[in-house]
Structure 1
Amino acid sequence: MKRSAPVNRRTVLKAGGALLLSVMAPHSAQAMQILAVRVWPAADYTRVTLENDAELKATHFLVKDPHRLVVDIEGLTLNATLKELVAKIQTNDPYIKQVRVGQNRPNVVRLVFDLKAEVNPQVFSLKPVANYKHRLVFDLYPAVEIDPIAALIEKGEWAKDTTTADKVADKVADKIAEKVAELSIDKKDEKKVEKKTDNKADAKTENSSDKTNAKLASKPDEAKPVLKLDDKVTAKTDVAGKEIPIEKSTGKVATHTEESKEKSDAVVRMITIALDPGHGGEDPGASGRRGSREKDVVLAIAKRLKKKLDELPNMRVMLTRDGDFFVPLQTRVAKARGVQADLFVSIHADAFVNANARGSSVFVLSERGASSTAARWLADKENDADLIGGVNINTQDKHLAGVLLDLSTTAQINDSLKLGKVVLKEIGGINRLHKGSVEQAGFAVLKAPDIPSILIETAFISNPEEEAKLTDEAYQEELADAIVRGIKKYLAKNPPLARNKMA
């Protein structure tokens, strides 16, 4: 009988290693499968998110004629979840026409985005946070940056009388120039005209001047400048109540009188308000027991508030987001400053660990620490929105963020406190207040140095009773009305006419 060869240690180790690899191989393959795909189209930019158990490595490049974005993702095998991306592209997406998904080569999946316009893509990865695992993000921004004021004009937000003092002056000058041209007699013809004819012309000129003044003065409700034609060629506004000299040679309103200019500004001063619905897109915010999401509730309230403010004279409103997409905290502040907002109102509906917590609150910025432990906790939680929503840290201007904090002046905080007090008082008329005074904390969205800014916690969405209120249309209307009353009362006592804005 033949004796079997002894089993040495190396043979055992080889067998064990092979067994270990066979056990781990399916597990590794499973980890590199896409778990979810999401698309967030918006006018600002379109975001595409791929969520995975492990970090994904991707490379990308742009192709022209027609415009396309090509993305190669390593370590992936095409699965049903990834194929769902094709159906998630909406026809009204501003930047993506369609997407094609395929297995480009072993363990490499290729995505080809057919674009509607040239884009500036940002591709980056996010570490696991909150309920999310690893995320690979594609942000498709327009190649030409959108001007915030131009965007307002395109949306019709400035369809009201937004005439500035300079434009009023130009209109007045044009009117004057027209009348002077009509009433002037060419010097060459003047030599050929008899004295009698000259008298008739003068009489005609005088009558025309009287008719012109009578016609323009017959519409005082339009607050248009009343023109007065005489030897000095002057124009006078019925609101300013003071004549503004006009230069005959150019037909332009003289601007050397500062007092006249300030009064002219007062005639046409428009007030711009930035409304900031919190969270959005990848960041749902807090959630209620019934499934209500903070990002949806506050957007609905902000839209109602915008509609009411838009109906007021000399008022225009900009939303930092008008749909379900994420806006970084620093970008929200930049948007408000971009349209030279006079007020900034951020709207939230937070949750607390205790479901019994209830009531509305108003917060303003603090440079010296939070006014309470709860305020500090809330500010830290809100400031984490960038982590959850997903910010490309390579594009964040950390220096600017620090400058905004350093430049936050006592005057800005004092103005914010005044605004916060009147708004809080009005909200207290329709809902219980969590605290009877305005609180302070280091909220990132309140750091615009030149804009009075408040953050309103409309109610606790974690409280079942308040969640029901927040999703009720009638209550949303009452809440919007209360905020409007507070803003109007603040502006009545603190008109932003003379406030200097930073460039």
Structure 2
Amino acid sequence: MCMAVQVFAKTTVSHARIWPAPDHTRLVFDISGDVSYKTFMLTKPERLVVDIANAQLKADLRHLDFKGSPVISIRTGPRNKDDLRVVLDLSRSVSPNAFQLPPRGQYGHRLVIDMRDKKSSDSQRLRVKKTVTDHKSRRDIVVFIDPGHGGEDPGAIGSSGVREKSVVLAIARKLKAQISRQPGYRGVLTRDGDYYVGLRQRTELARKGGADIFVSVHADAFHKPGAKGASVFALSERGATSETARWLAASENRADLVGGVAGLSLEGRDTVLAGVLLDLLMTASLKASLDVGREVLGSVSSVGELHKKKVEQAGFVVLKSPDIPSILVETGFISNPVEARRLKSKRYQKQIAGAIKRGIVKYFNRNPPPDTLLAWQQEVATRSAVVRYKIKRGDTLSEIARENRTTVSRIRQYNGLSTNSIRIGQVIQIPAS
């Protein structure tokens, strides 16, 4: 008599990658299929143990770079003959979270281990400095800049292998630097390295950081390589409506609303009234998003082609903040070989960053938040006699300041000048002494 014996093939762990971030570290295993697994912590010394059932290791883990992570070393070995045990030796305690991801894009099955630092917090990491002027605290306008994708998520990939996540991080860093050089402004990044930040977490970081505006930077892709040009998006009306419902439906967000969103407390309101108030807030935020989007789109048109000549609207998750004006800038088509080369160039990255900055500054010059340095400057201007002066050949700021009994620093601050450079024909305003 013959008996059939069913043999289950072992799951193979073929590759591993590690992505350190400021508040957590992500370890990713490429696996050949679904697995059963469990994780647990050991102390004295700190260790994280990952047991993977019916699995074998074929990955070379020696290439993993643990710099910037809590991982000191990694050890593996068989467990119960059929299982695989992975032990991470740690420098500090972490809160682990493990989950599987199904095949997507260039990746197959993955087992993800997130290790969140227990002592870190986003609010501590994103403290925003204030500017002190005239013995009074006048805060900066806070511009949150969000480089799309990151870490395990490369975003779109061009024909030459250029990755969206790398290009947009480079542009975002340049935008942050340019914003922060503008008097009365401060740029903050949602990520400043090659790691992934959840979509909802990006807007939460902006809210905790006191953002006045949220700018998500991306590079477009299309199945036809001829598509080209930059675009600017704001949230769609449909997206705004559904987001109001989502905020009211989620208990954790309801708690945020009770605490107050953008100074609007909904405590003690019934659900219908709370919905109306929140909808009004989102309507105002959407209008501001469209206004700043138009300014940015106009500035971007000066450095390259536009894909569309008006601000488009779509239901991007990162744009769904009810209390922060939010735009998404597609800086070009990475799927277009010509534009992919431009997106890789530092020159274009600087140009597109400068264009986005000019649009943002132009918007806030017309709509300064009330407690900011810019609002104070404009308030002073309405109360003081101001001389308009057109720069002529041979002029210097120091000479102009001396003749008008004021200082170079006051002229620079009043006109938003980051240096003493002026040009013939430029019109500046000279505040009264």
Q: When the two structures are superposed, what TM-score results if normalisation uses the length of structure 1?
A: 0.64
Change over 3 Å in CA distance of 1:349–1:398 after alignment to 2: farther
User: Which residue of 487, 490, 493 maps to 2:360?
Assistant: 487
Between the aligned partners of 1:319 and 1:304, the Cα distance in structure 2 is 11
Change over 3 Å in CA distance of 1:48–1:416 after alignment to 2: same
What corresponds to 2:115 in structure 1?
Answer: 140
Deviations 1:230-281, CA, capped at 9 Å, x for gaps: xxxxxxxxxxxxxxxxxxxxxxxxxxxxxxxxxx5xx612211110000011
User: Which residue of 50, 54, 60 maps to 2:33?
Assistant: 54
Aligned residue type for 2:51 = D
What corresponds to 1:32 in structure 2?
Answer: 11
8 Å contact from structure 1 (residues 363, 455) kept in 2: yes
8 Å contact from structure 1 (residues 310, 317) kept in 2: yes
1:104, CA displacement in angstroms? 2.7
8 Å contact from structure 1 (residues 68, 112) kept in 2: yes
Deviations 1:368-402, CA, capped at 9 Å, x for gaps: 269xxxxxxxxxxxxxxxxxxxxxxxxxx965579
User: Which residue of 58, 63, 82 maps to 1:87?
Assistant: 63
1:85, CA displacement in angstroms? 2.4
Between the aligned partners of 2:104 and 2:328, the Cα distance in structure 1 is 25
User: Which residue of 292, 300, 306 maps to 1:419?
Assistant: 292
Aligned residue type for 2:361 = K
User: Which residue of 129, 132, 148 maps to 2:104?
Assistant: 129
8 Å contact from structure 1 (residues 276, 347) kept in 2: yes
What corresponds to 2:51 in structure 1?
Answer: 72
Between the aligned partners of 2:315 and 2:26, the Cα distance in structure 1 is 29
2:185 is aligned with 1:315: yes
Aligned residue type for 1:78 = L
Aligned residue type for 1:151 = R
2:19 is aligned with 1:43: no
Q: Which has the higher helix share?
A: 1
What corresponds to 1:458 in structure 2?
Answer: 331
Aligned to 1:437, the other structure's residue is in SS state coil
Between the aligned partners of 1:309 and 1:422, the Cα distance in structure 2 is 15
Between the aligned partners of 1:324 and 1:436, the Cα distance in structure 2 is 32
1:126, CA displacement in angstroms? 1.6
Aligned residue type for 2:187 = V
2:224 is aligned with 1:354: yes
Between the aligned partners of 2:252 and 2:223, the Cα distance in structure 1 is 34
Structure 2 residue runs without a partner (length 5+): 241-248, 262-274, 373-433
1:127, CA displacement in angstroms? 1.9
2:79 is aligned with 1:104: yes
Between the aligned partners of 1:147 and 1:47, the Cα distance in structure 2 is 17
What corresponds to 2:196 in structure 1?
Answer: 326
2:178 is aligned with 1:295: no
Change over 3 Å in CA distance of 1:292–1:431 after alignment to 2: same
8 Å contact from structure 2 (residues 23, 120) kept in 1: no
Deviations 1:114-166, CA, capped at 9 Å, x for gaps: 11211111011122222322211100001134142x2145xxx63xx545xxx
2:175 is aligned with 1:305: yes
Change over 3 Å in CA distance of 1:355–1:469 after alignment to 2: same
Between the aligned partners of 2:122 and 2:230, the Cα distance in structure 1 is 35
Aligned residue type for 1:415 = A
CA RMSD of the aligned region, Å?
2.4
Aligned-pair identity in percent equals 43
Deviations 1:293-323, CA, capped at 9 Å, x for gaps: 1001000000111111111222222111111
8 Å contact from structure 1 (residues 40, 47) kept in 2: yes
8 Å contact from structure 2 (residues 138, 371) kept in 1: no
Between the aligned partners of 2:186 and 2:64, the Cα distance in structure 1 is 34
Between the aligned partners of 1:400 and 1:307, the Cα distance in structure 2 is 34
8 Å contact from structure 2 (residues 239, 320) kept in 1: no
Aligned to 1:33, the other structure's residue is in SS state strand
What corresponds to 1:467 in structure 2?
Answer: 340
8 Å contact from structure 1 (residues 86, 98) kept in 2: no
Change over 3 Å in CA distance of 1:129–1:350 after alignment to 2: same
Between the aligned partners of 1:493 and 1:131, the Cα distance in structure 2 is 45
8 Å contact from structure 1 (residues 121, 139) kept in 2: yes
8 Å contact from structure 1 (residues 274, 336) kept in 2: yes
Change over 3 Å in CA distance of 1:60–1:42 after alignment to 2: same
Between the aligned partners of 2:29 and 2:63, the Cα distance in structure 1 is 14
Change over 3 Å in CA distance of 1:78–1:435 after alignment to 2: closer
Matched residue count: 343
Runs of 4 or more above 3 Å deviation: 397-408
Higher relative contact order (CA 8 A, sep 6+): 2
Change over 3 Å in CA distance of 1:445–1:70 after alignment to 2: same
Change over 3 Å in CA distance of 1:328–1:88 after alignment to 2: same
Deviations 1:196-245, CA, capped at 9 Å, x for gaps: xxxxxxxxxxxxxxxxxxxxxxxxxxx444xxxxxxxxxxxxxxxxxxxx
Between the aligned partners of 2:337 and 2:90, the Cα distance in structure 1 is 44
Q: When the two structures are superposed, what TM-score results if normalisation uses the length of structure 2?
A: 0.74
Between the aligned partners of 2:253 and 2:329, the Cα distance in structure 1 is 22
Q: Which has the higher strand share?
A: 2
Between the aligned partners of 2:134 and 2:282, the Cα distance in structure 1 is 38
Structure 1 residue runs without a partner (length 5+): 1-10, 164-222, 226-263, 371-396
Change over 3 Å in CA distance of 1:399–1:365 after alignment to 2: farther
1:44, CA displacement in angstroms? 2.2
8 Å contact from structure 1 (residues 32, 76) kept in 2: yes
What corresponds to 1:151 in structure 2?
Answer: 125
Aligned to 2:217, the other structure's residue is in SS state strand
Between the aligned partners of 1:88 and 1:465, the Cα distance in structure 2 is 34
Aligned to 2:332, the other structure's residue is in SS state coil
Between the aligned partners of 1:283 and 1:138, the Cα distance in structure 2 is 15
Aligned residue type for 1:60 = T
Between the aligned partners of 2:195 and 2:284, the Cα distance in structure 1 is 33
Aligned pairs (5 A) from 1:343-422: 343-368=213-238, 409-422=282-295
Aligned to 2:210, the other structure's residue is in SS state coil
What corresponds to 1:189 in structure 2?
Answer: none
Deviations 1:32-78, CA, capped at 9 Å, x for gaps: 11122111111121001111121111111111222111111110123
